[in-house]
Amino acid sequence: MKIAINLGSSLLETALREQLQQEQEISQVVVVNPAFGVDACEPDFLITDVHTIKQKRPACLSRVKTILLDYGLSEDTIASVIIGNKIDGIMTTDADMPLLLKAFQAINKGQIWIDNCKIKALVNFADNTKDAVISECLSNKEREIVITISQGLTNKEIAAQLFISEQTVKTHINSIFKKLNVTRRTQLVPLGIKLRADLIS
């Protein structure tokens, strides 16, 4: 397993690299240099943070599974980061190495990894998306759209994935907003994560 690290703190980058290099499952750890890219073949995972996630990535990192390192971000900030970027997992800085390795394994199986405490906080953040409302109001297609929104897909990408027009996607999103009494896509992220988890379980 190959890991790339790109964090706003060089001190944290160094500490994390040293920890990862001690793990037998990890064959290579590289630190991303925004100016020069990555001097290695395409890694399996990129560990980033809110300070570096918006940086333009080298071509070898364009499709890499991404884990956001959470320094104690608010639920609103996390939801915004998820919606604006394709995030495969979120880890807090106090997570131990066995948990991080477990996250790598889960993400490789197609799951989204978020610490349990963060999931609870995100679900609480979306206080207008109660289970009863979901089951009574949203159609199957609308649920699919909520899931894709939580994965950070644009309307155009959602349309391509679900084989519908971009205008149909917009119509569905407007309907979802009205049914759930929300006004922002970020408010749908916790619901999308929960719906996806329900499908996997």
Residue 123: pLDDT band (50, 70, 90) is: low
- What is the residue extent of each domain of the chain? 2-117, 126-200
pLDDT over 50 at 121, yes or no: yes
- For 81, the token pair is 């980061």
CATH assignment of 126-200? 1.10.10.10
pLDDT, tens digit, for every residue of 58-111?
Answer: 777 777 899 999 988 887 787 778 777 878 889 988 888 998 999 999 898 888
Least confident of 33-47, 125-139, 144-158, 181-195: 125-139
Helix or strand or coil: residue 154? coil
pLDDT, tens digit, for every residue of 133-162?
Answer: 565 688 999 999 999 998 888 899 999 999
- Tell me the torsion sign for CA atoms 117, 22, 66, 151: negative
Those residues whose C-beta lies under 8 Å from the C-beta of residue 139, and which sit 6 or more positions away, are none
pLDDT recorded at residue 61: 77
Over residues 120-140, mean pLDDT = 64
27-31, 72-76, 168-172: range with highest mean pLDDT: 168-172
Over residues 183-189, mean pLDDT = 84
Please give the helix or strand (H or E) that residue 113 lies within, else none: strand 113-114
pLDDT recorded at residue 124: 65
9-18, 86-95, 108-117, 185-194: range with highest mean pLDDT: 9-18
Please give the helix or strand (H or E) that residue 46 lies within, else none: strand 45-48
pLDDT over 60 at 198, yes or no: yes
Q: What is the CA radius of gyration of the chain?
A: 18
pLDDT recorded at residue 28: 87
User: Does 2-117 carry CATH code 3.40.50.2300?
Assistant: yes
Decide: 192 and 182 in contact? Cβ < 8 Å: no
Decide: 36 and 27 in contact? Cβ < 8 Å: no
Alpha helix ranges (H) inside the chain? 10-21, 75-84, 97-108, 116-125, 131-137, 140-150, 155-162, 166-180, 189-200
pLDDT recorded at residue 128: 47
Decide: 176 and 145 in contact? Cβ < 8 Å: yes
